[in-house]
Amino acid sequence: MQTPIVVGDYLFSGRDHGVVTCFTAKTGEQHYSERLGTGRSGFTASPVAAVSGNGEGKLYFTSEEGAVYVLNAHQKGPPKFEVLATNQLGEPCMATPAISGDALFFRTRGHVMCVRN
């Protein structure tokens, strides 16, 4: 159900059981395929990416149980799977997050949440 996302030269694809795969967008070369979490939670929401002015990027994958996995999307050399943080929303979340400016919005079962610096 998730829509793949391209960040820089790389395409990131998530599966409903939490496996994230990274490819070179132009060639299809696979760099990694790793599981987020324990595999017991589903993933319905599509990932979103935030890239700063200096080119540093982060990917946000949200599980149906409300865990938000933050992955490094900006690396020198071949990409490596790196979870920078795991944050809990405290409620089920099946909607794709939205980004506006420096704000990240999550729609959970009972709330709309905004995270920003």
Query: How many angstroms separate the CA atoms of 12 and 76, rounded?
Result: 16
Model confidence pLDDT, tens digit, residues 50-94: 987 776 789 999 999 999 999 998 767 778 999 999 999 999 999
Task: Look at the block and give the residue holding tokens 């943080």.
Answer: 85
- Quote the distance between the C-alpha of residue 2 and its chain's center: 10
- Percent residues over pLDDT 70 in the chain: 98
pTM of the model: 0.92
Domain covering 5-90: architecture = Beta Barrel (2.40)
